[in-house]
Amino acid sequence: MTVREQKKNLRKLMLLERAKLPELEKEKYDQWICGDLLNTIEENQFKTIHCYLPMGTEINIFPLIEELLEKGLIVATPKTLPKRTLKNLVLKSLAELEKGVFGTVHPAGGKEFKGEYDLIIVPGLSFDSNNYRLGYGGGYYDTFMLNHPSAKKVGLFYPFQKVEKIPLESHDFRLDEILVGEDIFHI
């Protein structure tokens, strides 16, 4: 089986597993992630954060985003464009979003952020102990992170999304940290 086929199969499996997560457990975990990320941001005095806007069964970081906006931090979120490109737009309010491609949303108005980031928060479908992640297959985040070498890159995952080894291709990017709380479901 080729690496691409392995990735495709793993994506299908993880999407199914994530969809089976009971809502109450998901809410508890998502709250924990938001709290832990906020602590990381405050401890490191990060001022400029790039993050995804959750869709489907992704970890819901909307409460964190709202708090970052209230604190006056710069928050940029992606708009998906062709050719593995993200246009990073300044987010001013979660009430001002418009629909994009692949079920995504992005800030309305389109003011592009072209500065440097302190932190990049990355979604994904699976991860391994070497901090490699499996995304949705477009290569958007791999390309984007490569262009921001000084930013800390953190991936968010549920514990069951961990695998022994992510099948890798030459363009796959290693994250600085994986945020996953192994014992959160035992609360």
142 token code pair: 């791999």
pLDDT digits (tens, 9 = 90+) for 159-171: 999 999 999 988 8
User: Could you tell me the CATH number of the domain that includes residue 121?
Assistant: 3.40.50.10420
- For residue 130, the number of C-alpha atoms closer than 13 Å in the C-beta half-sphere is 10
Q: Look at the chain and count its residues.
A: 187
At residue 187 the predicted structure's pLDDT band, cuts being 50, 70 and 90, is very low
pLDDT digits (tens, 9 = 90+) for 96-141: 998 888 778 899 987 999 999 999 999 999 999 999 999 988 888 8
Q: What is the pLDDT of residue 101?
A: 80
d(CA 177, CA 14): 20
Q: How many structural domains is the chain composed of?
A: 1
149 vs 85, more confident = 149
Q: What is the chain's mean pLDDT, rounded?
A: 91
Residues pairing with 107 in the sheet:
97
181 vs 75, more confident = 75
Asked if residues 87 and 79 have their Cβ atoms less than 8 Å apart, the reply is: yes
d(CA 134, CA 166): 7
- For residue 24, the number of C-alpha atoms closer than 13 Å in the C-beta half-sphere is 3
Q: Which domain holds residue 53?
A: 3-186
78 token code pair: 């992606």
